Structure 1
């Protein structure tokens, strides 16, 4: 990959998705495009890059290849404990009149995060079965949304963070893979969404997961995203960022709320 090709991909990723690729990431870009070139029957990353100006879908695939889709079931563990022990009991009490809860997984990747939440609710909050509870999962990538919607995972993937009792209770064996039960999959609605664009079709939410994605945006993009979040998150709602992410020096619209060794964010007026 030449320097000019790398610069073209960097500009494309930034213009289309707000993703910042630093100058020392050329090896990473080339590796990901090498894999994409094989998938799309191109001889090399250079051949692939030469076609993106004439192929909109290929251009989108290049942008998607620049996103990081690393995720696991019950990732980081402690936010889910916080939800189980503190946040959900309080929200359920506050929503007794409307009997409605809305979850949004803003960068759902291949689905482990929303399915983790669904299992937690089924295990610990059976009373919500009679409520109007909605789960929206979005991502910029068509391919990862397709995998998330399918809900099928390898043995390696289910070994990462998923309790064995949940595996036997909420999954069915399918050859060498495990598939999430229909009862859980049917509760999720999926939608493509570029967080760096104006959000369309995103309803108000009580709990928003926006974990491990803000680190890839520049400051202006982060501020635009938080501005849209202000309009999306309920005044008494909760926002979850990744452990390495913060609103500090980005926006004053959210305040950090600590629970033991972990934390989440709430609208500053809450």
Structure 2
């Protein structure tokens, strides 16, 4: 009887899992299939999921109409630079919070964690004022600098470094190693799993970032991919063929990232709550 109940429970949970997975995947599937439809099929009634006359000309049209190479270069430059600086800032701060013994560090760490309770939109106005006064408006530096520090990254590194025995650091100090050498040659290599995990999520955050680049950038030549997609939407009409196919193209780097680093992404999702 118990085995029967276990099988029924397992079957119900599995069915629920498939249903939830389908609910998440269906909009993406609809987006992809719609991008293969000619413009005349997009709003035909009744609506059909599968395209009757699938075509790849929509992608050729999107690639030739939009300057994707320029947008990809802009986004990659911002994303890679921000990710590298985020790892450096988060790892050094997390190491200090985990291994240095100062009373004020505990209060500082609580203040850092408190920032996770604030939506990003709350501090955008003050951040924009600072960027404007520093003369960083409409520049890549204005995108990168405010995005470097993240409470999530600091917390991840702090928790990891706290698991490293202090004896290792003391032994290195006795051998004459300086603090910089201890961190970069000893502690940071030990934190490789955290470095990879934070790099993946930072890349995702910055690649998909839309609101902040929209506020900071005004020059179309500096647009990131997400802002460029928004520029397709006109005040009176929308080129749906261009918008759908361009949106699919913009997803390709994230899909490739997930395929390559799937194991790290799944592990990180299972063990931590993430906020960008």
Q: Per the shorter chain, which TM-score range?
A: under 0.3
Q: Name which structure has the greater RCO, CA cutoff 8 Å, separation 6+.
A: 2
Give the TM-score, by structure 2 length. Answer: 0.25
Please state which structure has a larger fraction of its residues in helix.
Answer: 2
Please state which structure has a larger fraction of its residues in strand.
Answer: 1
Structure with bigger gyration radius: 2
